[in-house]
Amino acid sequence: MDEKFQLCTDWVGDIPDSASEAVSQPDVTISNFQEGGSVLPNTTTDQLNLLSVERGSVSPKARPAKWLHLLSIDGGGVRGLSALCILRKLMEFIDPENPPKPCDYFDMIGGTSTGGLIAVMLGRLEMSVDECIEQYLILQDKLFRRSQHRPVTARSTVRPHYDHVALEQGVKDLLRSRGLAEDTLFRNTNEIPCKVFVCVTSAGSAMTKVLASYYRRRGSAEVYREAKIWEVVRATSAASTFFEPVTIGRSGRRYLDGGTGANNPVFVLWREAYDTFCQSGRLEDDLNCLISIGCGIKSFKPSGENDVGQLTKTLAIIATETEETARRFLDSRPKLYDTGTYYRFSAPSVGDISIDRPEEKGVIFQLTDHYIDSKEVQDRMLLCIQKLVQRVRTFWYH
């Protein structure tokens, strides 16, 4: 085993071979573990399955005091590949030979725009990160076909540039490849799902809305009952700069993506988690780990009206607001960082790549790898992993 994993933990005693064996041993206590450790030295698929057992069949009283895991994914067009690379490295740190699925580690995943697409693939479709990257590469080529594209110039205005039919068909093809009907509903009635939401904008009010795989008091029951997966992906990806709005439900509600109001959905994730999980009145009392992943930090700054068209300025503003949201969230809850509960990852310079240039995927991979390989990021990731796997360990004192 890699030395990085050895320093994280030491196991004292025998590791149960399966989920059923683990939960059938009433004499297993937290004393089986040394304090300060987190990463299990011989992780297996059976042991990872304990996560779903904990979420679904153990009463809240049996949970550890800190149990909730949340994941937020920014919007960013083709730069979503950078977010996936970061998440893949986190999963590889847990088990390099058999990286687990994020849906087995997070209770709620939320995203905006292409971050919403990723959230749906990871959480609702329960895909591994590698599977998600493979399908993401296929989808982005379909999303940004340039046959109908008008080049961006200084006189460009914000209007649709791409054909939404290609996006719809790409998502339906993905569903069929997963053995699902193309009209599969977004709502998830499984007993132990990873809850998923995407941020959208109401075309009528320009307000940020949430489409969720779970029932929520704040939302429309009609949309919850009727929204299909492909419609939800279309809605969160329907940036007014690129695609037409999408209509969901019999009442004809129209949605655009949430990028102009919640491109970094971390505040929305906090509210959704509070409404869905919080019983104590303070989400901090239940929260064990919150990870926010960006699609790259932008170094470019608009220089003026004569040099940058309206479309380019709009995208630059969104990129700036994304990092500003991350700063405001940290400023509003500094103890989350101090206690090792909140982690933000986003690769510098990736934000300079246009969100509709799939041919730049090689550059995105290269810049993100350079970011991940830095000692500072590696150290933060190791601390983050200690929090993620802590719930597997603490569950065994049941």
Catalytic positions:
113, 257
Cβ 256 vs Cβ 262: under 8 Å: no
What is the rounded CA–CA span in Å between residue 101 and residue 381? 17
Beta bridge pairs of residue 164: none
User: What does each C-alpha distance from 365 to 65, 78, 87, 204, 338 come to in angstroms?
Assistant: 38, 11, 13, 38, 30
Q: Residue 195: helix, strand or coil by DSSP?
A: strand
Task: Return all residues near 60 (Cβ < 8 A) that are at least 6 apart.
Answer: 279
Q: Please give the sequence-ordered ranges of beta strands (E in DSSP) within the chain, or none if there are none.
A: 68-73, 108-112, 195-202, 208-212, 246-248, 253-257, 287-293, 342-345
Task: Return all residues near 160 (Cβ < 8 A) that are at least 6 apart.
Answer: 240, 241, 242, 243, 244
Cβ 350 vs Cβ 79: under 8 Å: yes
Q: What share of the chain is helix, strand, coil (3-state, %, to 5)?
A: 50, 10, 40
Q: In the block, which residue shows the tokens 């009433």?
A: 26
Through-space distance between the first and last CA atoms of the chain, rounded to whole angstroms: 28
Task: Return all residues near 140 (Cβ < 8 A) that are at least 6 apart.
Answer: 77, 78, 80, 81, 114, 358, 361
Q: In the block, which residue shows the tokens 């509003």?
A: 332
What is the rounded CA–CA span in Å between residue 377 and residue 345? 8
In degrees to the nearest 10, what's the CA dihedral of 124, 128, 131, 132?
50
Q: What is the DSSP track for 35-68?
A: TT--S-TT--HHHHTHHHHHHHHS-GGGS-SS-E
